[in-house]
Structure 1
Amino acid sequence: MLKQQKDLIDQLSDGEMLKQLYMTQLIVIIVSAVAGLFLFQHANAFFKLWNIRDTHIIWYGVSLAVIVIILDLAVMKWCPPHLYDDGGINKKLFSKRSVPHIIFLTLLIAFTEEILFRGVLQTHIGLWTASLVFAVLHFRYLTKWLLFIMVTAISFLLGLIYEWTGNLFVPVMAHFIIDVVFACQIRFQQVRREMHDENVKSREKKSPESL
């Protein structure tokens, strides 16, 4: 299944991948709006979930992001690559994006997904169910047990800090930092590969002249 997914990803152009990402986020926003209309009695009940002045945004949100990033880096260091290979989706999405575009995309993803899974679903159906739904909908990880455990654990932790603080800005901050760090890592790895390839080509061009 992972090979079929990778083949499908390879067939998509960069523009098509980006278009699919934006369409997915639009669908998430629409689902959130429709579900919110039925589940929240009035708009104020939703807006009360946000508090930009809450210091928990830093203490809980940033701290959780740092912990998750360290654990993910440890997994990448000590586990075989095939265990955390997502089929190339993230690499295709972020390897050629500019840093400002990466920041915009990861911020958009953090807001749309946290509004749906924490703000709408968890508020009304509970932490465990919302976390499981979040994990299952990241269907590309279902055949990769390590990735599925990781995304389920991260989802639960995001839900937990929302449960503790009652402030949606907290999981949004954590989600954004986690995504933007790894997306930028993918981008910088691509830059290093391109520089290496340029250096190799440059040496190959110079070598005949030096003979």
Structure 2
Amino acid sequence: MIDKQQVWIEQMTSKQIRLHVYATQGLLLLLSILLLLLFSSPTEHFIDLFDWSSGEILYLGVVPSFSLVVLEIVLYRVIPSSHWDDGGVNQIVFRDISMRELIGLTLMIAFCEELLFRGVLQPLIGYIGASLLFACIHFRYVKKPFLLMIIIMLSFGLGFMFEHTGNLLVSITAHFVINFCLGSYIRYTDGGINHD
């Protein structure tokens, strides 16, 4: 059976795929805003989730993120790509992206996804529910157990950071660092591919 995702990916340029990523993130942002308007307590409480002065951003956001990135890169170099290749989507998105767009795209992804899953959904449905929903939106990893395991661990890790600190900037920073570093790895290596 032909993999429809693979055929779709092969027919699109990296710019077209990135436009889909931007559109998806825009929808997540819109959903966050709608849910905030429907279910959130007063705006002052929501703004309190953003603590800029906290050292937690560095110690609980940046440091663990770099550790995870190093672990993932080591695993990518050791485990054959057939176990973690996502059908080429990440390689296409990041392989010819400018550094400015890489920063903007990964920051947008981190902000929109963390706003929805940690800032809006986690207070509504709890840590486990929000973490599982976050993992579920990455459905393209279902056929790749290694990627699925990584995304589940990442989801619960980001959820734990927010649960522990109550600071959305910690999980946004962690998410950004992970995406930016792995996107850079793909951009500056041979697509991040471990040739078996």
TM over 0.5: yes
Q: 4+ residue stretches of structure 1 with deviation over 2 A? A: 1-4
Looking at structure 2, the residues matched to 2 and 166 of structure 1 have their Cα atoms a distance apart, in angstroms, of 45
Q: Deviations over 1:114-137 (max 9, x none)?
A: 000000011221111101000011
How high is the sequence identity, in percent, across the aligned residues? 36
Letter in 1 for 2:141: Y
Residue in 2 that maps onto 1:209: none
Matches within 5 A, 1:124-203: 124-190=124-190
Structure 2 counterpart of 1:18: 18
**One-letter code aligned to 1:117:** F
Q: What is the CA-CA distance between 1:3 and the residue it aligns to?
A: 3.5
- The 2-side partners of 1:2 and 1:110 are apart by 32
**Distance in 1 between the 2:72 and 2:160 partners?**
19
Q: Indicate yes or no: 2:8 matched with 1:4.
A: no
Higher percent of residues as helix? 1
Whichever residue aligns with residue 128 of structure 2, its letter is W
Per-residue CA deviation, residues 68-112 of structure 1 (Å, 9 max, x unaligned), is 112212221221211110111111111111111101110111000
TM-score by length of 2: 0.93
Residue in structure 1 matched with residue 111 of structure 2 by the alignment? 111
Number of the residue aligned with 2:59: 59
Which SS does the other structure have where 1:126 is aligned? helix
Change (3 A) 1:89 1:167: same
Measured in 1, the distance between the counterparts of 2:22 and 2:106 equals: 11
Query: Cα distance 1:31–1:2, how it changes in 2: closer, same or farther (>3 A)?
Result: farther
Instruction: Output one character per residue of 1:30-89: Cα deviation in whole Å (capped at 9) or x when no partner.
Output: 000011111212211211111010100000001110121122122212212111101111
**Residue identity matched to 1:140:** R
Q: Indicate if the aligned counterparts of 2:15 and 2:93 stay in contact, CA closer than 8 A.
A: no
TM-score normalised according to structure 1 size: 0.87
Letter of the 2:85 counterpart: D
Q: Which residue does 1:32 correspond to in 2?
A: 32
CA–CA distance in 1 between the matches of 2:136 and 2:128? 12
State the alpha-carbon separation in 2 of the partners of residues 80 and 14 from structure 1.
24
Cα drift, residue 166 of structure 1: 0.4
Measure how far apart 1:185 and its partner are: 1.2
Taking the aligned partners of 1:2 and 1:52, their CA distance within structure 2 comes to 48
Cα offset for 1:4? Answer: 2.8
Q: Counterparts of 1:78-93 in structure 2 under 5 Å? A: 78-93=78-93
> Which deviates more from structure 2 when the two are superposed, residues 73-82 or residues 172-181?
73-82
Larger radius of gyration: 1
Return 5+ residue gaps in structure 2 as ranges.
192-196
Q: What stretches of structure 1 of length at least 5 have no aligned partner?
A: 192-211
Provide the C-alpha distance between the structure 2 equivalents of 1:93 and 1:46, rounded to a whole number of angstroms: 32
